[in-house]
A and B are shown apart, each in its own frame.
Chain A
């Protein structure tokens, strides 16, 4: 157990729908990062939050949004889902704004299947 909790582990939904993925960071970590892993794109950085504020944005589609709440858990919202959104979505956390001193800790991921 890495200490980063992601729910749900699996999600199957239809095209056009909206889903919410949840992440609780490791105790004491203030940053949360979202990554998408697909066979053709590999691991792609989506977005980072630090202590409730958006800190960095990567290849995140406009149909996707995220937020970090006061208790530091984060949610990734995916809307108007397309078949191509099927992927593993990982959350990671770190103590500070970057990787020092412990690196990033990843959750076990949410596997999203859009049918």
Chain B
């Protein structure tokens, strides 16, 4: 069982908004603000979408946003587009290790 729990799948229609949750099952999982989110299309390397809970790397659409409350982080994608269909992974880190959630398949 992963230390970060995500739903296996979510779905939405074009233009809608969806939210993917990520719950830490242990208090030892990463620093408080160390949550990040990755997008992965089939056969491709992961792409960083959100780091440190709510920050977007340069070039990532502002349709992607991140929040955190208690031990649960969330990724919200607004204005869903067909190209958003992918697997999404949450992650948390310390200086000594990194954890990934099990991944969520988004169907648009």
Q: Do A and B come from one complex?
A: no
Spell out A's residues near B (CB within 8 Å). none
Spell out B's residues near A (CB within 8 Å). none
